[in-house]
């Protein structure tokens, strides 16, 4: 990548019509059926109507299934405009993987290195939001210990602070690490839970640290509420 402003040359906001239909079929039919019927994923929906425009979804992260599961809760008219944020060094290390992530997953790959030639990930993601697209973020930065939520990195705070009009939707995921454990390639149907929280708007001027901490607290509180209802096992926290 080259230096310069983050604009349409670095992010093409246009999604071909064919890929729009493909993504709808993949996520609203195939993956939704797979998660709900085959795996047995339980969905807990927010009682607040889903925002119509761009959204920043934020979730804990333990499995490569996490991004696909979140895409199944995105409204149909926003599927092609919603992107999981994934690591370029892992998912972009071959031509087939890069093609799959772009065309089948609808992900955006960002660099986790700090080489001078790399575009600042926050600038790139900021450009996407400005062009009306939604993002799925996993602020832990990597899949951690199964069932344990690590501290969030500040990227979500940087993005949300730049867009006070764009809501942050916290999502809690439990159990998908059992369906596809780290280091395995075979998916097994062992259930799981996805909880979509209410949209949160952070007023202009809210600090990066406050946004990061409040978002993590919202997901932590959803996890604790489910445990108190005996719907999610206690993993030793």
CB 158, CB 85: distance < 8 Å: no
Distance CA 33, CA 37 (A): 5
What pLDDT is attached to residue 229? Answer: 79
What pLDDT is attached to residue 117? Answer: 53
Token pair listed for 39? 């795996």
What pLDDT is attached to residue 35? Answer: 92
What pLDDT is attached to residue 135? Answer: 96
What pLDDT is attached to residue 2? Answer: 34
Separation of CA 176 from chain center = 14
Residues in the chain predicted with pLDDT less than 70, given as ranges, are 1-13, 89-93, 112-119, 143-147, 181-185, 230-237
- Give the DSSP H or E segment for 169: strand 168-174
What pLDDT is attached to residue 5? Answer: 44
Token pair listed for 219? 């997901």
pLDDT in tens, 74-105: 999 999 999 999 877 666 567 788 888 888 88
What pLDDT is attached to residue 90? Answer: 62
pLDDT in tens, 51-82: 989 999 999 988 888 999 999 999 999 999 99
Q: Which fold has domain 17-228?
A: Glycerol-3-phosphate (1)-acyltransferase (3.40.1130)
Instruction: Return all residues near 189 (Cβ < 8 A) that are at least 6 apart.
Output: 38, 39, 40, 179
């Amino acid at each position: 990548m080259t230096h310069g402003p983050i604009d349409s040359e670095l992010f093409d906001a246009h999604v071909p019509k064919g890929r729009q239909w493909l993504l709808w079929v993949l996520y609203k039919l195939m993956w939704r059926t797979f998660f709900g019927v085959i795996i047995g994923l339980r969905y807990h929906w927010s009682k607040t109507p889903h925002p119509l425009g761009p959204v920043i979804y934020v979730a804990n992260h333990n499995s490569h299934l996490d991004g696909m599961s979140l895409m199944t809760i995105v409204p149909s008219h926003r599927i092609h405009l919603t992107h999981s944020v994934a690591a370029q060094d892992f998912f972009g290390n071959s031509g087939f993987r890069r093609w799959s992530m772009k065309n089948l997953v609808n992900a955006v790959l960002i660099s986790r290195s700090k080489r001078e030639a790399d575009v600042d990930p926050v600038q790139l993601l900021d450009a996407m939001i400005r062009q009306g697209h939604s993002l799925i973020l996993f602020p832990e930065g990597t899949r951690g210990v199964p069932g344990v939520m690590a501290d969030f990195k500040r990227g979500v705070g940087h993005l949300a602070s730049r867009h006070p009009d764009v809501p942050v939707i916290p999502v809690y995921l439990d159990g998908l690490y059992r369906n596809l454990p780290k280091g395995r390639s075979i998916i097994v149907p062992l259930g799981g839970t996805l909880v979509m929280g209410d949209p949160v708007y952070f007023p202009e001027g809210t600090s990066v640290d406050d946004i990061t901490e409040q978002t993590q607290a919202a997901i932590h509180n959803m996890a604790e509420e489910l445990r108190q209802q005996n719907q999610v096992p206690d993993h030793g926290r």
